[in-house]
Structure 1
Amino acid sequence: MREQPEQQAPPVQRLRIRYAKRGRLRFTSHRDFSRAFERAVFRARVPMAYSSGFNPHPRISYAGAAPTGSASEAEYLEIALAEIVDPAAMHELLAEALPDGLDILEVVVSPGGSLADNLQASHWQIDLALDAQVAVDAVARFLAAEEVSVERMTKKGLRTFDCRGAVRSMSASATERGVRIDVVLVHGVPSVRPDDVLTGLAQVAGLDLASGGTLLTRAAQGVLLDDGAIGDPLA
């Protein structure tokens, strides 16, 4: 019989981490980031707890990753440790081990519970080279619609779904380069992404958004409060 693998000791501490994807590193895929983070953990000599089994791996839980190509100031993960550490010291070690553009913003002791359950909604900023009044009118049309169906290619093929139902709020304001659309998206199934909303916005208003630079930035992610604001998932 095959010898059973050694059972690993349970974690003694869990840390939750908020990090950012900035600049060119916004094109880092979730898989690329997870590899970079595991390398950083190894270089920083973090006392990770490991899973049991024939192929033990460091206990790292990811939740609510932003789509590839999107910048973000609110990405989250949780690590399980084999020793008690100082969160501030761990912040410094990980920040030094990761490349610029993948930036550690906050490290706290986990309050318990599920991190994913605290990531209920996201505040996205969509920067467009578009006339502000045109954007304001497009937002008004979008919000007035009961349903806005869009298509997206998924692993299971082309899928059609309503992107309007996931939008809790949306507004447009002028910027130096055009317009910024602020939108709060409720997480659900299927997951509605900011580019889906952009597709729906162009559809209901008859806009051509294919030309010109578009920057998608997640400004916040967390618990959806009664007033529509986003609560801190690390609190």
Structure 2
Amino acid sequence: MREQPEQQAPPVQRLRIRYAKRGRLRFTSHRDFSRAFERAVFRARVPMAYSSGFNPHPRISYAGAAPTGSASEAEYVEIALAEVVDPAAVQALLSESLPDGLDVLAVAEATSTSLADLLQASRWLIDVPAEPARVEAAVAAFLAADEVLVERMTKKGMRTFDSRAAVRQMSAGPGERGARIDVLLVHGTPSVRPDDVLTALRQVAADDLDVDGVLLTRASQGPLLEDGTIGDPFA
């Protein structure tokens, strides 16, 4: 009979980490980041808890990753530890081990609520190289519509879904690149992404709206509060 694998001890502490994707590092995929993060916790000698089985791996949970190519100030990951450590010490160690552009912003002990359940909505800043008046008109037309259907290729093939239903708030005004769109998106299935919003804006725009060369930045991510704002997942 095949020898049974060693059973690992349960974690004694869980930490949640907020990090940013900046500059050229916004082009890293989720797989690229997960590899870089696992190397970082190994170099930093963080006392990780491991899964049981024939191929133990560090207990790391990812949730709500931003699309490849977008910057973010609010990415989250949770780690399980075999020893109780100071969150501030872990933040310092990981900051030294991760490349510039993947920046650890905060580390805190995890609450009982799962991380995935806390990440209910995101606020995005979309910088568009276009005249603000044209973008404001497209935003007004979008908000006035009952639904705006868009198509996107997913793992299950081409999907059509309503982009309007996911938008709780959206406004536009002048920005450094021309115009800036501020939009709050509620997470769902399938998840409406900021590039889907841009596709929808092109559909409803009275004139051709050029959205090439945009910069997408997630400003915050967390629970959706009763007043329509986004709360802190660390609270």
Q: Same fold (TM over 0.5)?
A: yes
Distance in 2 between residues matched to 1:175 and 1:56, nearest whole Å: 48
Deviations 1:156-179 (A, max 9, x none): 211111110000010001023201
Equivalent position SS for 1:224: coil
Deviations 1:131-190 (A, max 9, x none): 111111111100000010001111221111111000001000102320100000000011
- Identity %, equivalent residues: 77
Equivalent position SS for 1:152: strand
Distance in 1 between residues matched to 2:60 and 2:209, nearest whole Å: 38
Distance in 2 between residues matched to 1:211 and 1:149, nearest whole Å: 18
Q: Give how far 1:96 is off.
A: 0.3
Residue 226 of structure 1 corresponds to 226
Q: Give how far 1:207 is off.
A: 4.8
Tell me the TM-score normalized by structure 1.
0.98
Residue 156 of structure 2 corresponds to 156
Equivalent position SS for 2:15: strand
Distance in 2 between residues matched to 1:128 and 1:180, nearest whole Å: 6
Distance in 2 between residues matched to 1:209 and 1:48, nearest whole Å: 49
Q: Give how far 1:209 is off.
A: 4.6
Gaps of 5+ in 1: none
Equivalent position SS for 1:231: coil
Tell whether 2:99 aligns with 1:99: yes
Q: Give how far 1:227 is off.
A: 1.5
Distance of aligned partners of 1:195 and 1:73 in 2 relative to their CA distance in 1, 3 Å threshold: same
Tell me the TM-score normalized by structure 2.
0.98
Distance of aligned partners of 1:159 and 1:207 in 2 relative to their CA distance in 1, 3 Å threshold: farther
> Residue type matched to 1:32 in 2?
D
Q: Which aligned pairs between 1:72-87 and structure 2 lie closer than 5 A?
A: 72-87=72-87
Distance in 2 between residues matched to 1:113 and 1:8, nearest whole Å: 23
Distance of aligned partners of 1:216 and 1:207 in 2 relative to their CA distance in 1, 3 Å threshold: farther
Distance in 1 between residues matched to 2:145 and 2:98, nearest whole Å: 44
How many residues are paired up? 235
Q: Give how far 1:112 is off.
A: 1.9
Q: Give how far 1:226 is off.
A: 1.3
Distance in 2 between residues matched to 1:147 and 1:96, nearest whole Å: 47
> Residue type matched to 1:139 in 2?
V
Q: Which aligned pairs between 1:4-83 and structure 2 lie closer than 5 A?
A: 4-83=4-83
Distance in 1 between residues matched to 2:120 and 2:207, nearest whole Å: 30
